[in-house]
Structure 1
C-alpha cells in the first residue's frame, strides 16, 4: 500500500519536475544569448557613446572621469544595454515556447504575435523616454543647480547612470500592455478583472509616472497619461474579438 502511494506521488510530481527542467533550459538559453550579446555590445559601445554625447540635451557636454574604473564601467553599461535590447525578442520567444504545450492551436498563434511586438514596444518606450522624458529631467536639474548658484561638473558615470535610470524603467513599462494581453490569452487574467482593477492600476501607474519624472505637473502628465492610455488599450484589446487572430 505504501509503495503504491509512493509511486502515485512520484507520478504526480513528474509533470512539475519536467516543467522546472524546461524552465531551466529556457533560462540557460536566454543567458547564453545575453552573454553573446554582451560580448558584441562591447564592440558597439564606442559608437553608442559618441551618439549619446552628440545628442545630449545641452551642447558641448563636458564629462569627467572621477575614477580609473569609470571608463571600464561605462563600457560595461553600454554593452549591457545593447545586449539587453537584443535579447528581448529571443527571451519572449523562449517564454512562448515554455507555455506553448499548455496552449491550444488557436492560442499558440494568437500569443506568438507578442514576440515581435514586445521588441517594438520596448523600442517605442526607449525613444519616448530618451527624446521626451530625459531632456525634461536633465534640464530641470540644470535649472535647479543654476538657481542655487552652483557650478555643474558632470561625472561620466553619474551622467549615464542618471540617463539609464530613466530609460530602462520607462521602456520596460511600455511592455505592460503586452504582458496583460499575454496573460489574458492564456487565461490568467480576464477583461472583467482588468476593469475591476482599473482604479488600482491607474493609481500605481500615476505613482510610477510621478516617481521617474521631475517634480512638475507637465512632466508627470507626459509620462503618467501614456501609461494609463496603454493600460486602457490593453483592457480593450483583451476583450474577445478585439485582438489579432
Structure 2
C-alpha cells in the first residue's frame, strides 16, 4: 500500500500529532488519576478506597481497547478502504494524513469503547441503568454492533464477527457489573 505526502509540512505534522496521540495513550492512567482527584471530594470515604482499583481496571481496559483497535480494526479498515474502488479508472493514492487519522481514530475509539463496563458501573451506581434495561435492549445492541462492524470491516462475515464478539463480551460483562452493583446497593439498604 503506497502512502504519499502532498504537503510541505505533512510528515512533520503527522509526526507531531502521532506523538501527541501516543502521549495521550500512555498518560491515560495519570489522566484518570487527575479526574479521580477532582471527583473524590464528592465521594464518601468508602468509595474513595476504590481509587487504585478504578485506575488499574480502567487503564487495563483502555490499553486492551487501543491494542484491539490498532492491531485488528485499523488493518481491516485500511484493507477495505484501500482496495475499494468505484471505477477502474480511479486509483487509490492514500495520503499520509488520511492514513494516520484512520489509525489514530481506530485506536482511540476502541480504547474508549472498551471503557463500557466502567461507564455502566457508574450509570448503575447513580440509578440511570439497570440490569433489566440492559437485558431488554441486548438484541438491539447486537444489531447496532453488527451494523457498525459491517461498516468498519471488509465485506466478509468473518471480519464482522471478529469485531462483534469482543464488543458483545464487553456488553455482557457490563450486565454482570450492573447486577453486582444493584445487589451491593440492596445489601447496603438492608444493613442500614
**Which interval holds the TM-score relative to the shorter structure?**
0.7 to 0.9
Q: 1:210 to 1:112 in 2, by over 3 A?
A: farther
Query: Pick from 110, 113, 131: which aligns with 2:71?
Result: 131
Match of 1:229 in 2: 169
Match of 2:111 in 1: 171
Q: 1:124 to 1:91 in 2, by over 3 A?
A: same
Contact kept, 8 Å, 1:96 with 1:111, in 2: the verdict is yes
Please report the TM-score for the alignment, with normalisation by the length of structure 1. 0.62
Between the aligned partners of 2:140 and 2:31, the Cα distance in structure 1 is 29
Between the aligned partners of 1:77 and 1:232, the Cα distance in structure 2 is 35
Indicate the structure whose relative CO is greater, using CA pairs within 8 Å and at least 6 residues apart: 2
For residues 13-39 of structure 1, what are the alpha-carbon distances to aligned partners after superposition, in whole Å with 9 as ceiling and x for unaligned? xxxxxxxxxxxxxxxxxxxxxxxxxxx
Contact kept, 8 Å, 1:133 with 1:219, in 2: the verdict is no
In structure 1, list runs of 5 or more residues that go unmatched.
Answer: 1-60
For residues 202-222 of structure 1, what are the alpha-carbon distances to aligned partners after superposition, in whole Å with 9 as ceiling and x for unaligned? 343333323332333222221
Please report the TM-score for the alignment, with normalisation by the length of structure 2. 0.76
Match of 2:147 in 1: 207
Between the aligned partners of 2:147 and 2:92, the Cα distance in structure 1 is 29
Q: Number of aligned pairs?
A: 183
Contact kept, 8 Å, 2:18 with 2:100, in 1: the verdict is no
Between the aligned partners of 1:189 and 1:106, the Cα distance in structure 2 is 22
Rg: which structure is higher? 1
In structure 2, list runs of 5 or more residues that go unmatched.
Answer: 185-192
